[in-house]
């Protein structure tokens, strides 16, 4: 038993148990470990004079600083531009500068001027900004393109107060009004609405006026004596000369009566009982006096004819009276 224990002790001394420890300077680091130990290609941080003491409408100076290693390409296209909003803040001004250090490192400075208009007091954050960067190209020259990656900045906490400080502050210089992209569609909508309103009101007014005129009592236009006599002849033509020639009334008598009423109404002559010969001296100055006397004489011949009058002659005489009255109607009143 003692011999066995002695043998085991000797084996433990000669053959060590466990892993073999190798010095670090003898180990060659793997490529993956080397890549992990390198610095990140870009580094960003913000500069803000103070994160408190700002009030509604104050311009807040905020500067984003980006440090890029040599060979790194930076693209700032996704940063908010002047006139845009980022969260609750309006971008009033933007300026970008860059410089290169001796080691080849490039420094970018993005100077923002922010303004806030909203309820206060408020503690809010300036949301992270997206920075695009590329460290290598892919493809075959000269068509190689950059493969961009995104890096988001840390948010910045800003405190907005409700009232101003005790000491006097300098007034904020007025800035130009930010362009409103809604101005054109709003203007077009207002213009079209105005045109539609004016057209509707005009059309409704016109219809209301026409309806009012149609409902108002129509005052007949006074006709002259010649027009009244002419209408009487035209209206009673079928009565004295019906299509079947069955009328037994004397057209000559009615024609004589119409012309005598015309002379009385137009010239004030009492011609109801006078013969054509007696009327002749009274028609001095009357237009177409000779034709009127000739027509009255023909009417007297038909009226006092012992035999029945010829319908054809009566109709011819009636039309002659219509033609004479049309001439008298066209003569302007003196």
Where are the domains positioned within the chain? 42-160, 225-330
Strands (E), the chain: 42-47, 60-68, 73-75, 85-86, 89-100, 106-116, 122-126, 130-134, 137-138, 145-146, 149-152, 156-160
CA pair distance 280, 277, nearest whole angstrom: 5
Q: Is 57 helix (H, G, I), strand (E, B) or coil?
A: coil
Residue in the structure block whose two tokens are 């037994």: 248
Q: Supply the pLDDT for residue 211.
A: 82
**Do 81 and 110 form a contact (C-beta atoms < 8 A)?**
no
Pairing of strands 106-116, 89-100: antiparallel
DSSP 255: H
Q: Supply the pLDDT for residue 215.
A: 72
pLDDT along the chain (334 residues), means of 10: 63 51 44 53 90 86 92 90 92 92 89 89 89 76 76 91 64 66 80 90 88 68 78 75 55 86 87 85 87 89 78 85 88 70
CATH number of the structural domain 42-160 = 2.60.40
Q: For residue 93, report the phi and psi dihedrals to the nearest 5 degrees.
A: -155, 155
Q: Which of 104, 81, 101, 103 lies closest to 91 in space, CA to CA? A: 81
Number of CB atoms found within 10 A of residue 319's CB = 13
Cα distances (angstroms) measured from residue 265 to each of 287, 299, 329: 14, 20, 14
Number of CB atoms found within 10 A of residue 32's CB = 8
Q: What is the dihedral of CA 158, 164, 165, 169, to 10 degrees?
A: 100
CA pair distance 83, 180, nearest whole angstrom: 9
Q: Is 205 helix (H, G, I), strand (E, B) or coil?
A: helix
pTM of the model as a whole: 0.39
**Do 251 and 209 form a contact (C-beta atoms < 8 A)?**
no
Q: Supply the pLDDT for residue 9.
A: 65
Q: Supply the pLDDT for residue 147.
A: 85
CA pair distance 269, 334, nearest whole angstrom: 16
**Do 64 and 129 form a contact (C-beta atoms < 8 A)?**
yes
Continuous segment of H or E residues that includes residue 266? helix 251-267
């Amino acid at each position: 038993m003692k011999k066995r224990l002695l043998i085991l002790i000797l084996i433990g001394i000669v053959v060590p148990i466990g892993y073999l420890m190798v010095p670090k300077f003898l180990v060659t680091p793997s490529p993956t470990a080397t890549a992990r130990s390198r610095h990140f290609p870009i580094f960003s941080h913000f500069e803000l004079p103070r994160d408190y003491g700002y009030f509604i409408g104050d311009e807040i100076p905020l500067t984003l600083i980006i440090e890029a290693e040599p060979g790194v390409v930076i693209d700032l296209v996704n940063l908010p531009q002047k006139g845009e909003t980022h969260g609750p803040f309006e971008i009033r001004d933007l300026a970008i500068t860059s410089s290169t250090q001796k080691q080849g490192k490039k420094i970018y400075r993005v100077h923002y001027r922010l303004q806030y208009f909203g309820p206060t007091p408020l503690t809010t954050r300036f949301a992270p900004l997206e920075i695009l960067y590329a460290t290598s190209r892919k493809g075959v020259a000269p068509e190689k393109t950059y493969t961009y990656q995104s890096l988001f900045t840390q948010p910045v906490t800003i405190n907005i107060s409700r009232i101003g400080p005790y000491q006097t502050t300098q007034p904020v210089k007025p800035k130009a009004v930010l362009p409103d992209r809604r101005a054109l569609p709003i203007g077009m909508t207002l213009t079209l609405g105005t045109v539609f309103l004016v057209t509707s009101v005009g059309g409704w007014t016109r219809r209301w006026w026409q309806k009012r005129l149609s409902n108002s009592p129509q005052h007949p236009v006074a006709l002259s004596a010649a027009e009244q006599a002419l209408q009487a002849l035209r209206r009673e033509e079928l009565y004295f000369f019906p299509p079947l020639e069955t009328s037994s009334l004397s057209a000559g008598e009615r024609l004589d009566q119409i012309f005598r009423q015309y002379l009385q109404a137009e010239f004030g002559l009492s011609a109801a009982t006078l013969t054509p010969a007696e009327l002749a001296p009274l028609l001095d100055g009357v237009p177409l006096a000779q034709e009127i006397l000739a027509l009255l004489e023909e009417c007297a011949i038909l009226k006092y004819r012992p035999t029945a009058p010829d319908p054809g002659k009566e109709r011819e005489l009636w039309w002659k009276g219509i033609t004479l009255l049309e001439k008298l109607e066209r003569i302007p009143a003196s």
